[in-house]
């Protein structure tokens, strides 16, 4: 039995994982001019070996150590340090689905046992780690009655393929289509929730699939690839990073309800980028300014966020 120990314990993205510093940019200019890809600057996948049977996870709230046991079809179960199976407030179902490239992707459907409110969140995580490091982010929302479908992009976790910006876009589309085609009873509303890189990606997915969703939530998202490149690498970053797709452009065509969450203490993605997206967005929209760290909204403001999502989907625009 092989054990897998995640490299990222409740991963928090580092700005250096997005774009190298200015000195490094200057050093690699010849490679850039030769067509070197910037994908690796935006995506830092943490794959899990297919043969892995066990992982060690440290919870963010109280730093408890949990053991994640991986079964058939990557189905997870959890035990404590005494190997006692944990009784959870929710059910986790591991699912497999394919993207357009034919790569098999892995996701978890997290369903509350007793208080499901009829709203499902398709969750797009950030640029690093994998499902084992990001799933604690959505637990507070599951406990408050939301069903959450969280998945790994190509090259992350158990998902096949290579992590590229083109692939994560295709992966997010595939995840949304999978959920829409899945026969799931009692699902009344579907909302896309994206954090950080996933927040930027979520805007484009939502804009292109407005007829399939009822709302969009983005937390700690950057406004465009060029904006975050310029923020950390100056003019060279902005020049040499290909945009491919831009939240700042997509948000201007998005018409469904929108909630933008951004922290004043965010050291990774500046608050100004969240405000920039909000200014370009159409009504109905809301901006929830919080404090604390990057991608920490659900950890500290779960009640507020849950309430705002419920309020958002009541908008007449949600069902249009």
Tokens matching residue 155: 């090259």
192: pLDDT strictly greater than 60 = yes
Confirm if 47 and 128 have CB atoms less than 8 A apart: no
- At residue 243, the pLDDT reads 66
Query: CB-based burial of residue 180 (10 Å sphere; 0-12 exposed, 13-18 middle, 19+ buried)?
Result: middle
pLDDT digits (tens, 9 = 90+) for 203-261: 999 999 999 999 999 999 998 777 766 566 555 556 566 668 889 999 999 999 999 99
Which pair of structure tokens corresponds to residue 189?
């509303």
Distance (Å, whole) CA 46 – CA 6:
8
pLDDT for res 65: 80
- Would you state the pLDDT for residue 236? 58
Within 8 A by CB and 6+ apart from 223, the residues are 200, 246, 247, 248, 273, 276, 277
Q: Tell me which of 151 and 4 has the higher pLDDT.
A: 151
What pLDDT is attached to residue 235? 59
Structure tokens at 251: 């948000």
3-state secondary structure of 308: helix
The dihedral sign for the CA sequence 135, 137, 139, 145: negative
More confident residue, 121 or 314: 121
Task: Domain of residue 9: give its range.
Answer: 2-319
**What's the rounded mean pLDDT across residues 173-184?**
92
Contacts (Cβ under 8 Å, ≥6 apart) of 203: 194, 216, 218, 221, 247, 250, 251, 254, 277
| pLDDT tens-place string over residues 8-23 | 333 333 333 333 333 3
Residue pLDDT, tens place only, 116-166: 999 999 999 999 999 999 999 999 999 999 999 999 999 999 999 999 999
Between CA 296 and CA 272 the distance in angstroms is 18
E strands, the chain, where?
A: 2-4, 44-45, 52-58, 65-70, 76-79, 90-98, 104-112, 119-124, 128-129, 147-151, 189-195, 215-219, 258-263, 285-290
> Whole-angstrom Cα distance, residue 139 to residue 148?
9
Torsion over CA of 3, 4, 7 and 11, rounded to 10 degrees? Answer: -120
Left, alpha or beta for 102 (phi > 0: left; psi -120 to 50: alpha)? left
The sign one gets for the Cα dihedral 87, 120, 297, 315 is negative
pLDDT of res. 27: 38
**Residue 1 above 70 pLDDT?**
no
Structure confidence by residue, pLDDT tens digits, 106-118: 999 999 999 999 9
User: Could you tell me how far CA 203 lies from the centroid of its own chain?
Assistant: 12
Instruction: Please state whether the predicted TM-score (pTM) of the whole model is above 0.85.
Output: yes
Contact in structure between 200 and 241 (CB atoms under 8 Å): no
CATH number, domain at 108? 3.40.50.1820
Each residue's pLDDT tens digit, 57-92? 876 666 678 889 999 999 999 998 888 999 999 999
Give the separation between CA 251 and CA 247, rounded to whole angstroms. Answer: 6
pLDDT at 167 exceeding the cut of 60: yes
Q: Which pLDDT score is estimated for 90?
A: 96
Split into its structural domains, the chain has a count of: 1
């Amino acid at each position: 039995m092989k054990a897998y120990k995640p490299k990222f314990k409740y991963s928090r993205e580092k700005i250096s994982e997005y774009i190298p510093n200015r000195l490094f940019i200057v050093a690699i200019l010849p490679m850039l001019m030769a067509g070197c890809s910037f994908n690796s600057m935006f995506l830092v996948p943490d794959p899990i070996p297919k043969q892995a049977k066990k992982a060690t996870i440290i919870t963010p709230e109280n730093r408890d150590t949990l053991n994640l046991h991986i079964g058939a079809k990557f189905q997870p179960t959890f035990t404590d340090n005494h190997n006692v199976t944990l009784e959870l407030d929710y059910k986790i179902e591991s699912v497999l689905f394919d993207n357009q490239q034919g790569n098999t992707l892995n996701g978890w459907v997290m369903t509350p046992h007793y208080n499901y409110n009829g709203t499902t969140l398709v969750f797009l995580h950030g640029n690093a780690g994998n499902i084992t490091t990001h799933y604690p982010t959505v637990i507070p929302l599951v406990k408050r009655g939301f069903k959450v479908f969280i998945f790994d992009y190509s090259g992350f976790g158990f998902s096949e393929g290579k992590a590229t910006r083109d692939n994560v876009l295709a992966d997010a589309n595939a995840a949304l289509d999978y959920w829409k085609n899945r026969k799931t009873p009692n699902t009344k509303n579907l909302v896309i929730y994206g954090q950080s890189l996933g927040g930027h990606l979520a805007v484009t997915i939502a804009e292109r699939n407005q007829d399939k969703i009822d709302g969009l939530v983005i937390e700690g998202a950057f406004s465009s690839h060029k904006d975050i490149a310029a923020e950390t690498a100056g003019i060279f970053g902005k020049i040499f990073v290909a945009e491919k797709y831009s939240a700042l452009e997509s948000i201007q065509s998005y018409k469904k309800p929108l909630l933008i969450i951004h922290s004043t203490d965010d050291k990774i993605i500046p608050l100004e980028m969240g405000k920039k997206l909000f200014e370009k967005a159409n009504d109905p929209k809301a901006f929830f300014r919080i404090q604390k760290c990057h991608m920490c909204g659900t950890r500290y403001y779960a009640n507020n966020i849950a309430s705002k999502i419920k309020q958002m989907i009541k908008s007449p625009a949600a069902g249009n």
